[in-house]
C-alpha cells in the first residue's frame, strides 16, 4: 500500500561526500588472505571503502557536502526553511547532528531541525519526511543523510569489515507548483531488530566497544521477502510499471543482492544501477551517492524516471517513484584528511 503521494516538492541538487581515507583490496588480503578477499569481492562487488580518520565525524562530511551544495545552487543560507539530518552515527549522544550543522551553516533561528536515526532506508524516509514538512512550513529544505559506520566495525570481522564505507550526502529540496508527484511506499517489521545491531544506550556493556553485528542470511531473506512488494507499490502509486522507469536505484548493499532484486522485479541490467565498487555499503547515503557516481551527467542535463528503494536495519524499507532532473548539481566530493589540506573532487564514471 502506498503510504503517501507528495507533489509540489522538487529535488534540485545532490552532493555526496566521502572521506579521503581508503581501504583497498590489498588491505583485506593482508588481513584475511588472498583467497578469502577475492571471494568476498566477487560476491559483493566491493573493491574498496572510504573510512573517516579518528577525528572526523558525520558532521564534517555533512558540512562539506551541504556547504558545496548551497554555494553551487546559489542558495543563501538564509533561504533555507528546514533541515533534516538522518544518521545512525551522530557525533554525540546529544545534541543531534542537526543542531551542529545548523550552527556551522549559519541557518536562521526560525529554521526547524529534525534528527532521524533511520538506517539504510534513511534516504527515502528522509525524503518523505522533509517533503511533507516543507509543504507546510516553507520553500526550501536541506536533507542530510549518511553515516560513519566504520566507527562500529571490527576490522577482523569478515562479515562486515569488507562491506561498509563512510559517506554523507546533502540534498536540496524546493517547493514548486510544477514539481511532479513522488509516490512513496514505507514499511517496518520490528521482528528484524536482532539481526542488524550495534549495542548502545541501556544495552551497552561498558567493557566492550560498540560493534556492528549483522546476520547476512537474515538480511538477504528479508530483502527478497519485502522489497519487491514495496517497489511495486511505489510504481503503482505513480501509475508506472518496471518497464516505464529509466533507472532502478536500490540501496547499494552488495552487487549480488542488487542483481537478485532486479531480476525478481523484471528490471533489465541497463536499468539497474550498481555503483558500490569503490565505496561499499554507505548506509543511508548509498542511494544519493549512487546517483552522483553513476548518473551525474544524465541527471544534470535531462529528467529521468527513477525508482529508488532503501532497506535494512529494523527491519525497515522505503521506496519512491519519481521523476528527477535536470539537477543544478549532482556530484561527489572528497573530504581531505586533517593532515592533507589539498582539496579535490572524487572521480566518477557515468553509466549511460
Three-state SS annotation for the chain: CCCEEECCEEEEEEEEEEECCEECHHHHHHHHCHHHHHHHHHHHCCCCEECCCCCCCHHHHHHHHHHHHHHHHCCCHHHCCEEEEECCCCCCCCCCHHHHHHHHHCCCCCCCEEEECCCCCHHHHHHHHHHHHHHHHCCEEEEEEEECHHHHCCCCCCCCCCCECCEEEEEEEEECCCCCCEEEEEEECHHHHHHEEECCHHHCCCCCCCCEEECHHHHHHHHHHHHHHHHHHHHHHHCCCHHHCCEEEECCCCHHHHHHHHHHHCCCCCCECCCCCCCCECHHHHHHHHHHHHCHHHHCCCCEEEEEEEEECCCEEEEEEEEECCCCEEEEEEECCCCCCCCCECCCCCCC
Out of 17, 57, 120, 330, the active site residue is 120
281 is catalytic: yes
How far apart CA 116 and CA 107 sit, in angstroms, is: 19
Out of 50, 68, 281, 330, the active site residue is 281
The closest of 236, 251, 244 to 281, measured between CA atoms, is 251
How far apart CA 119 and CA 61 sit, in angstroms, is: 17
Out of 251, 254, 292, 330, the active site residue is 251
How far apart CA 278 and CA 269 sit, in angstroms, is: 19
Residues recognised as catalytic: 120, 251, 281
Amino acid at each position: 500500500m502506498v503510504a503517501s503521494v507528495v507533489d509540489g516538492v522538487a529535488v534540485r541538487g545532490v552532493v555526496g561526500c566521502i572521506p579521503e581515507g581508503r581501504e583497498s583490496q590489498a588491505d583485506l588480503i593482508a588481513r584475511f588472505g588472498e583467497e578469502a578477499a577475492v571471494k568476498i569481492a566477487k560476491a559483493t562487488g566491493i573493491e574498496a571503502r572510504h573510512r573517516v580518520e579518528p577525528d572526523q565525524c558525520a558532521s564534517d562530511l555533512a558540512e562539506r557536502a551541504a556547504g558545496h551544495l548551497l554555494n553551487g545552487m546559489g542558495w543563501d543560507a538564509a533561504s533555507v526553511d528546514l533541515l533534516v539530518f538522518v544518521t545512525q552515527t551522530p557525533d554525540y549522544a546529544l545534541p543531534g547532528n542537526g543542531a551542529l550543522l545548523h550552527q556551522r551553516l549559519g541557518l536562521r533561528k526560525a529554521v526547524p531541525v529534525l534528527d532521524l536515526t533511520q538506517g539504510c532506508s534513511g534516504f527515502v524516509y528522509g525524503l518523505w519526511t522533509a517533503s511533507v514538512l516543507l509543504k507546510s512550513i516553507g520553500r526550501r529544505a536541506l536533507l542530510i543523510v549518511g553515516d560513519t559506520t566504520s566507527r562500529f566495525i571490527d576490522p577482523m570481522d569478515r562479515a562486515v569489515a569488507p562491506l561498509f564505507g563512510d559517506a554523507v550526502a546533502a540534498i536540496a529540496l524546493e517547493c514548486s507548483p510544477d514539481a511532479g508527484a513522488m509516490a512513496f511506499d514505507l514499511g517496518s517489521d520490528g521482528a528484524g531488530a536482532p539481526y542488524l545491531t550495534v549495542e548502545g544506550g541501556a544495552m551497552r556493556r561498558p567493557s566492550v566497544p560498540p560493534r556492528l553485528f549483522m546476520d547476512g542470511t537474515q538480511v538477504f531473506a528479508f530483502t527478497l521477502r519485502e522489497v519487491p512488494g514495496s517497489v511495486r507499490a511505489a510504481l503503482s502509486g505513480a501509475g508506472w510499471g518496471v518497464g516505464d522507469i529509466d533507472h532502478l536505484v536500490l540501496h547499494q548493499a552488495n552487487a549480488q543482492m542488487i542483481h537478485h532484486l532486479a531480476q525478481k522485479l523484471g528490471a533489465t541490467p541497463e536499468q539497474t544501477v550498481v555503483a558500490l565498487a569503490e565505496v561499499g555499503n554507505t548506509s543511508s547515503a548509498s542511494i544519493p551517492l549512487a546517483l552522483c557516481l553513476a548518473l551525474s551527467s544524465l541527471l544534470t542535463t535531462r529528467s529521468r524516471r527513477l525508482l529508488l528503494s532503501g532497506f535494512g536495519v529494523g527491519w525497515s524499507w522505503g521506496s519512491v517513484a519519481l521523476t528527477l532532473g535536470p539537477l543544478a548539481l549532482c556530484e561527489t566530493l572528497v573530504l581531505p584528511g586533517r593532515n592533507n589540506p589539498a582539496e579535490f573532487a572524487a572521480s566518477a564514471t557515468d553509466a549511460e
